[in-house]
Chains A and B, each alone.
Chain A
Amino acid sequence: MKTSIALVGLWLAATSIVSAQAINGAGATFPYPIYSKWFEEFRQKNPSIEINYQSKGSGAGIAQLTAGTVDFGASDMPMTDEQIAALKVKALHFPTVLGGVVPVYNLPGVKELKFSPEMLAGIFLHKILKWNDPVIAKANPGVKLPATDILVVHRADGSGTTFVFTDYLSKISPEWKAGPGSNSSIKWPTGVGQQGSEGVSGMVKQTPGAVSYVEFFYAFKENMEYGSVQNAAGVFLKATVESVTAAAAGAAKSMPADFRVSITNAPGKNAYPIASFTWLLIPTQIQDAPKRTALVSFLKWMLADGQKDCAALGYAPLPKEVVAQELKQIAQIH
């Protein structure tokens, strides 16, 4: 008898967990480390709300949002006009954090390599083939560069990181823009593809002469060496939380109302050039009232307390102006 009462009690406890407000989202992989931290922290503060997030990729997130199988989407690139037109319920872009992309390389004996825009474009366009090329030497005076072949390594899986990096290359090189262009997967002029940041950085570590790109937070977490990049003002900068935030501060002044903006190659002496927002895509109409309240309270928490988690994970927090503008946009969710 006692055990059966205990069992009923357990069963009731179990059902009360199930009856908590569950919100499902899917999309971007680039902000996954901070999103999983946020959703966990938010659940601890609001035990009745559980946010499940699948980092399947921005494309999958947008597709699932369009199909209506998730409550919100997430994307590393702003939705295109065509994608917006396909939505049944209009969705809002909410920038959440900023991330940078850094060049990584394996050149025995060379530390603190500097990357100029011409050099990055030339290497990835397969125009610069050896490490002692004059363009590289010009950006790195006094560095003894070996005459070895350059091996370009890029992401094989579709990735927001690739989008940010190729978006930058498209801005600094007309030839890149007309050729490979920017997307989460592109037709690379040269090189080998590897899966994920782990695959890419593993290949670079193994292969002398290799060069690639990874998310700043990944290099930060793994304590990897990465190069500095020359920004639009001509200054060589290493990605840091501060230099990535500076890139967003410039963009904050001219932020469009729908937040669909690219901040690569941003103006400003202190702005790191390969940086981007990442977005949550929230439908404007949410029929289920408790779900709507839960999502809105998460957004408000994320824009205030959540931002404090950024620096520890290698992301840059949103500038104040952008936060204020987003708080206004929350009112559009019905």
Chain B
Amino acid sequence: MGDEIARLVTLAFGASVVLITVLLIWNLWGTSAASRAKFGFGFLWGTNWDPNANDFGAFPFIYGTVMTSIMALVISVPLGVGAAIFLAEMAPPGLSSACTFLVELLAAVPSVIYGLLAIFTVVPLMREYIEPALKGAFGYLPQFQGPMLGIGYLTAAVVLSIMTIPYIIAISREALLEVPRDQREAALALGATRWETTFKVVVPYARLGILGSIFLGLARALGETMAITMVIGNDPTLHASWFAPGYTIAAVIANEFAEATGKIYTGALVELGLVLFLVTIIINALARLLVLATTRKGTAKVV
């Protein structure tokens, strides 16, 4: 009897997750009807966003969202995983626990605080030092040309990387700590150096957890709103330059929804929400595939 009740209660909880997802999609689908009817699939690659002409296209926002998130991961993955390896494998225990406490604290800081840090610290740094240095070194590439405002894709990516690093460190470190002692000892017994043990045994063993941390970081980056809208420049025009202002899906919804009038305009904003949902699903699916592919290769190889 008790088992049966427990089964039903947990079933209800489990079903609520499915229900929320279905309701969410149903609601987004319904409210975006006017926009879907007018633009069709062209919405996805339309590049114009003009509330006065009632002409809306999602491409600049999709580009901005995916672009800043990927750039952020390029910065945060090596730093985050590297820091996690240090904390789990090499740091003295006292330092490791102190750092871990700080990292977990950072992961819990609200994003608007990161936005303030970004506006007052990152933006001037980018404008005065980093962007001129990049322009000097790579100025022949279109990505590093144009006026250096200190706000734009690159700054947004740097801020996102700062925000995702704590997640990557915290979860990767947990994964690394869960590698059984035997694995390390076996490798050391076979004559591997500490370095070889870490990179050929411990990290491959923990790679699922590390991948998980990266995708959690990516999820945060894709959906981040406040901190990004404060530094990206909020301009729905496509620019080749990484110094130029851009826009993301979450930011435009937050900025324009309150004042949006008319079924098509609000519909287009809601449809952007649907697109963000889709982007997240695609990326999650890719993550699953990646995990499957790496799992099939078998466990750690010890040479």
Contacts and interface: CB of A to CB of B under 8 A. Distances in A.
Contacts of A202: 119
Given A184-B259, A187-B236, 15 more contacts: A57-B258, A57-B259, A62-B261, A158-B256, A181-B52, A182-B52, A183-B51, A185-B259, A186-B51, A186-B52, A187-B48, A187-B52, A192-B151, A193-B255, A206-B123
B46 interface: no
A58 B261 CA distance: 9
A194 interface: yes
Of the four ranges (under 10, 10 to 19, 20 to 34, 35 or more), the interface on chain B belongs to 20 to 34
B229 interface: yes
Contact of A156 (B147, B150, B234, B262): B234
A195 B236 CA distance: 15
B256 A157 contact: yes
16 contacts: A57-B259, A59-B259, A63-B266, A80-B261, A157-B255, A157-B256, A183-B52, A187-B48, A187-B50, A191-B245, A192-B152, A192-B234, A193-B234, A193-B235, A193-B245, A195-B229
* Chain B interface, >50% SS class: loop
Interface string B117-129: 0010001100100
Contact of B235 (A63, A80, A192): A192
B235 A188 contact: yes
A185 B268 CA distance: 14
A91 to B, nearest CB: 15
B67 interface: no
Interface string B216-250: 00000000000001100111100000000100000
A258 to B, nearest CB: 18
A187 B52 CA distance: 8
A157 B230 CA distance: 11
B247 to A, nearest CB: 8
A83 B266 CA distance: 14
Interface string B29-72: 00000000000000000001111110000000000000000000
Nearest to A191: B235
A192 B149 contact: yes
A122 interface: no
A151 B244 CA distance: 12
Interface in A148-194: 149, 151, 156-160, 180-188, 191-194
Contacts of B257: 158
Interface in A53-80: 56-60, 62-63, 80
Nearest to A160: B259
